[in-house]
Amino acid sequence: MRRWFVILVPYLWLLVFFLIPFFIVFKISLSDIATAIPPYTPTFSITDIGGFFSQLDFENYTFIFQDSLYIGAYFSALKIAFFSTILTLLIAYPIAYGMARAPREWQPTLVMLVILPFWTSFLIRVYAWIGILKKEGLLNLFLMNLGLISEPLTIMNTNTAVYIGIVYSYLPFMILPLYASLEKINPALLEAAADLGSPPWKSFWQVTFPLSIPGVLAGCFLVFIPATGEFVIPDLLGGSETLMIGKTLWNEFFNNRDWPVSSAVAVVLLLVLVVPIVLFQRNQEKQREAGR
């Protein structure tokens, strides 16, 4: 009985907070836009179930595949998410490595420092970057005072600013799983490698890195998946040419008031992300099995 309950809770959670909302969104994506409350038709009615279903169609999906805007926005979002994931990995790895090699008694403090930014609202931290990156901002003032540049750099409102924003915001999500897998590596393995004459860089590539791959994968998925649908960072830091699917979805929903098309965009976005999500799940399971 108790076992059933334990199994039931997560499934119930998924049902109520994922599956049902998804079906509502999916249903709206098959409707048509209307000037009414709510702004789509048909609305579900128990009395006329047949009529309700006959009015649903896939028109909105054909629409988003006919206009290059949407496909362009998906690709652009995937591209930005992909490169920011790689950048985040490159920055996070040395940090996590340093943390894992630090004296034992420092490590809780270091983990704490990584988590610390979460105590400030995400939105405020992104706003703070505006102050740093803008033309008369801190970064430009600093570089100009050092005499490294004579003209202020235009970083704000470009894709560069979006990359900086994403890398900054998602860095902890990369560092923590990396640290978790690096910290588990038995130092005796490296000693053994050294005893057998392996130089440190070779031990890193042949021992440390392969053992940290589960952490690398977990971190990459944790960054890549949310970064693809990111809206706040490109809106605040990006320029007008920054095209991302999150922003396109926002436009459909708020500017065009087209709930059906924006729902279709959301469903397709989910389908696009199903592949990395499934891979992530597999990776997690593999790790769990390996841990057993």
Partner 1 sequence: MTYSGNKRGTLAGSLTLATMLACGVAMADQKEVRVYNWSDYIDEEILTEFTKETGIKVVYDVFDSNEILETKLLAGGSGYDVVVPTGQFLARQIQAGVFQKLDKSKLPNISNMWPEVSNRVAVYDPGNEYAVDYMWGTTGLGYNEAKIKERLPDVPTDSFDLLFKPENAAKLKDCGIMVLDSATDVLPVILQYLGLDPNSKAQADLEKAAAVLEAIRPNIQKFHSSEYINALANGDICIAFGWSGDILQAASRAEEAKNGHTIHYSLPKEGTQMWFDMLAVPKDAPHVEEAHAFINFLMKPEVIAKASNYISYANGNLASQKFIDESILKDGAIYPDEATLKKLFVLLPYDAKTQRSVTRLWTKIVTGQ
Binding site for partner 1 (CB under 8 A): 33, 35-39, 67-69, 72-73, 134-136, 157, 239-243, 248, 251, 253-258
Q: Rounded to the nearest 10 degrees, what angle do helices 68-101 and 159-183 cross at?
A: 40
Closest distance of CB 58 from partner 1, Å: 18
For tokens 């199903």, name the residue: 274
Nearer to partner 1, 178 or 261 (CB): 261
Which ranges of the chain does DSSP label H, i.e. alpha helix?
2-14, 20-29, 49-54, 59-66, 68-101, 107-115, 122-133, 138-146, 159-183, 187-195, 200-203, 209-228, 232-237, 245-250, 259-291
Residues 109-127 as b/e (b if ≥16 CB within 10 A, e otherwise) read ebbeebeeeeeeeeeeebe
Nearer to partner 1, 26 or 63 (CB): 63
CB of 271 to partner 1, least distance (A): 22
Please, which residue, 163 or 173, has the CB nearer to partner 1? 163
Min dist. Cβ of residue 255 to partner 1 (A) = 5
Nearer to partner 1, 34 or 56 (CB): 34
The residue type found at 231 is: F
CB of 269 to partner 1, least distance (A): 17
Q: How many CB atoms lie within 10 A of CB 55?
A: 13
> For residue 85, which of 158, 163, 197, 22 has the smallest C-alpha distance?
163
Tell me whether residue 89 or residue 125 sits nearer to partner 1 (CB atom). 125
Query: Position of tokens 């915001």?
Result: 169
CB of 137 to partner 1, least distance (A): 9
Distance CA 26, CA 21 (A): 8
CA distance 109 to 255: 46
Residue with Cβ nearer partner 1 (183 or 258): 258
Shortest approach of partner 1 to residue 49 CB, angstroms? 22
Q: How far is the CB of 168 from partner 1 (least distance, A)?
A: 19
Q: Whose Cβ is closer to partner 1: residue 159's or residue 181's? A: 159
**Closest listed residue to residue 153, CA positions, set 165, 170, 167, 135:** 135
